[in-house]
Structure 1
């Protein structure tokens, strides 16, 4: 008899990735025995595979028949409709056999079951409360069906399985699996259909959906649906809602929700309190976070390592390292051992304060506890040492990581590359860069940008371009930093044609949206004396709708000043304001210098007054320009007074400022004052340059004071004028 058959055990679950076509449903069949007795048409069709298989089951037994030659020969010719019939017949007579046959066909013969067979077996498994296997069957179906399949599958369930036993459980599991696969809209559709059918979803399904929707306002709709349906909530439900409110920056609502659950006699969970504490700490309100920590103790909840770590991290970020260490001690008193996360947080706290010695003391304590540093620990230490300019220690830590079999991250390599490039060790950085490939790490645009910028600073533009081409060949779009570095380097090296070719390639690839790149190119043309090309680029900017900056106009003003077209340069200052921008000290200083060169002190001083009226603070360069103008007019005492005024205003004159005045005093044969100014430079920790001394010696020579010039050379360079 069929009810005595012993099913095979369930087989391993293979991967299936083919969409199944929908089949027409048919009514559940009668038992196999009755079918064979009552259906003469089947008994007269011995070649029908369904009849032969069912007969074989009856005569030989389930296990024997499946292992026989006939089934092995006919199985590959079975279509979905025939398998549907077999499974449907079996689920009436022996549900276990229906599930085993379904699994055998799927695993051993890679058979693509129809929706009907899947739902039949789903109901069988639901009836036996074999929920994990039920979930697995539906997961495989949804992997094949994909997003947006809910309406079709719901229609199938509705029409073919409405009155089946455990139908509600299948619907619920379907909604859960959709949610688990993050097909949220499909899950919501299934729940809506369940509501129409007066079927209740489980809290597990609702919780899964709430979790996926915790970033959105729809979370509240689902939560209200839970309350309306009368579904018993779990502590996990409340924790998810609180987490969602915190993620949506509705912290006060999260606290209110916590108070509501407390009023209903539902005490808060550690997870909920940890979530709120974490959010307050991220906002910098560590004192408020500590009050929720106290609430845990009030409710008799024992804070775990995660609770302590949240507060310790918040205190470290706030710079309260001492208090963070006190909490670590309190942690131990309450029987909670600091873990690797705790030590990493504290190590990062020391790093943020630049106290790497303290960080190493913590590492030693960690080692004493039998805890080994992980990738996070090494990342903190390497970043800390590199931040302090100790790249040598950073590289030693890298070696230690590799010897321990720990993989460096792209971030760590980028930190090391940046530190090496900053101190000019670009070729060592390149060695590390290609080491990344050996570690199967893909450099990103940040990594490339660091190296390209480093090469350009060293004047190795061609190597930078090669690296740039390599980056583009990997379909990594260049950043403004890398493109700007190459463009600036080409311009600074006088390679304006190459710079324009490169710039045009950026435009062609639609990578030149940043005004900074246009500014570099415009300034490059201006410095080369090609104002026309600079103005053409400015025209392109306006046509493309790219907003110019004050830097754009400053370069053009410099170009017009260089061409002695001061009227047009002056008009551009008005254009700056028409664009809603503000002129800078550079804007006015550039114009003032041009008027100074023309000897127009009146316009120059008028611009200075305009600067003051607009609240634009002059720089030491601005005053150097004014001093140059005063010196041209032989107003040397006024120039010296302005030098004193600069210091009074907190502006430090540089060598150029002093050289300008010293040269003027030398021209008037007032060498004594010139020497006095040089002494003043030394007193103000400003070292005179070779230009300073050359000005002084040339002044003495021009006026025939060769003896004094010779004495000066021997005083300044006692070793026979070495260094002159």
Structure 2
């Protein structure tokens, strides 16, 4: 027989990855009776390092079978058959099937059957009813008490009271002392006043309770705080000679519940000194429990030792209570030491639930060795594992990475009646996802929900992430539909992620279906999810879906961004009967009054212009005026751009001319200059800028930035440099935007530098403009002899370096080799710069171009993990 000492000797073998199975066998599968009966699997035979795949599979199967055999020790085939009949057959066939078992019905058998599976209340009731109808058998007070306690524990008080009302009408009711039963039933149901009323009626009729019923009544009075009546009932018990150790235990409970600990101590010591055998371990345990709840651990410990030393009082129950409170208080080492001490000296064997409590706490603290010690001890001492033990073993197997064994036991749970609890489900699901076994994790999660265990928000989110990450959207869709049908609401982030995943997979209609289903359950979505649904609908040309979600956003108090509204309206205008739908939506939003009319009109003018329909934009503009809403500067600017963006330059400038007579502010002029530059008309923008300056309005820096970029885009570098010179002559510094535009063009060719060199000889450039040109020469390689650090310093003297600047420098470094680029990247991180999508893409692109694909994949994975997408150019290269 394997001893605990032997288990410790094999622990070193246990924690080697190749031999875990052997250690599990040694620690958990040993027989508690004889060496010939245990599953004899040797460590050397289980080492996976020297086994073929088939041999390893055989050994794994043996281990699972050994676990199964231990678990099966809790099963009684006859009782399993009884419960199978009760659960599956109708009343007529059930009666005959139970009768065919030829059961010898007595109180003991009935109690054993009821206690075998008390959670199956319906089956217990059926068996109780069937047994009561069998000839020659009459239910006893004990069997009624057992049935009442099953109903009470299931919190079926109304059913119990109905049961009490009708039981006397049954045939067996006339053959038992039914007043006793009524008192017991009402007492257990917590109806103490009714129970006392029944007791009074009995006494009036000259009938009395028996010993068993008196104690049930007395205990219920204590439990429900009727302490003034407890002494009276105790006196009745004493007067009838019924007083015994149970009476004293209930009295101890009464004193402790009233917090009369000194009275309880005196009572207990008097009983111990009498030495008449009328004190049991429950009374001691009750007092120890009360002391521990008052945080009087030292006093409780001294009491246990005192009573143990005199040998007059059994202390096993008190030991269990003491261990429980040590565990609850987090004193696990003290609890383990106490257990080992009492086992070694007195042969103390805790009840299974004490083992379970210790194992559960040790598991949470990852004290795996101690868990194995306790499990080995349980197996050695012949402790039959209960449901909690088996769930703890599943959690343990998950913690040490033996998911294959845990899953096989999970799949076999119906064999030995294992009911998986919440903690085990979470361990299984999280471990399977961690081991990239998403299918199995999904199946376990479905099972948990079907059995009433709802995964926590974190677990649900982990599975949702895994399913979405692997593109298992059909499973995710089924899961969401299932939890909605079951009226289970997942964590907000979980269904947000799922809808987003459907959008990314271009399954927008399915995403909207889930969105609509969840919306009907009053669940609120994040703004990001709605935005993605709208964007996905627009990409697929589903303007009707995009509009419905946009309206839903507004109704829920969200203000859509102008760009999103613009693209939605443009998508709507590409559908059938576009203008009718467009104007209907306008009227609907105006009627609902969730946004101010001017905001709504501006959105629709902008949307029509973006869709390339300036006539419709003008129509909305006129509607705005007719409705009594005076168009402001923004409305006029949006109307201007509706013409400008469709290439109607003359009509756009005509609108601008009208605006400039009414509004003469920088905002208007800036919008016009920037807008003309954006459509590639820098010469028109330059003329507007001249008019602006003629009106003594100082152009804002955005105007110079737009003109510089527009002229650089068409390689009219001379004009770009002139505007930089003009801006710096006015005392304005060179912005990062302008500096980066010059750097980007210098990266492509040296033409910008040559233009600057020509102008510097012909015109008087400001020092800032000259320095910028010099920097362009160095950056483009036209001026040599400057290293990277000096170049960065030179750039910093011209303008403020930002992340875009760093990326341009990184791109320049990559042209001289990826190692240079990586070295520069690391230095940038040290300086506090945060890499963005372009930073990563430059490195991934350069690595792929150089054929360093393994490094490239690592950088790409890190990039994706941070939420950045690879550019199309890099994807083509990969």
| Structure showing greater relative contact order (alpha-carbon pairs closer than 8 Å, 6 or more residues apart) | 2
TM-score, normalised to structure 2, is 0.40
TM-score, normalised to structure 1, is 0.47
